[in-house]
Amino acid sequence: MSHSYGFCDCHNHHQQVHRGRTEKERWTDEMVAGSAAYQALCHFSSNRTGRESHEQAKEEVARVAAQEADRLCEQKGLDHGKRDGVRRMSVDAAKELYFDTNEYRGDS
């Protein structure tokens, strides 16, 4: 099932996961993916040099989202098969956030 990840949705998921507003046993796949995507965009925004090409930026956001998803899945105790799906959802959500926010400024 496809899910659309808006900035507010991902921020809310991030708050629920990282601020302890929802116990990890109740984290949904969408919550983990949205939180990881939000974390990836924040990381990119804080560390961008302004010289990244669109492709480099997209790869960096995807890499950080996948790492964060893996970390959160491990915390939740998900098996590897489930982690792969959540990782894909996180990468897709992070790319969507990247395009939908002002972080995307076109190809360099």
Express each pLDDT in 43-82 by its tens digit: 988 888 878 888 888 899 999 999 999 999 998 888 888 8
Asked whether residue 81 is domain-assigned, the answer is yes
- For the CA atoms of 82, 84, 33, 17, the dihedral, rounded to the nearest 10 degrees, stands at 50
Integer Cα distance of 56 and 62 in angstroms:
10
Q: What is the mean pLDDT of residues 25-32?
A: 89
How many domains in the chain? 1
Q: Is pLDDT larger for residue 33 or for residue 81?
A: 33
**Structural domain for 90, as ranges:** 7-100
Q: What is the pLDDT of residue 47?
A: 85
Q: What is the pLDDT of residue 14?
A: 87
The answer to whether residue 29 scores a pLDDT higher than 80 is: yes
Asked whether residue 80 is domain-assigned, the answer is yes
Q: What is the pLDDT of residue 106?
A: 53
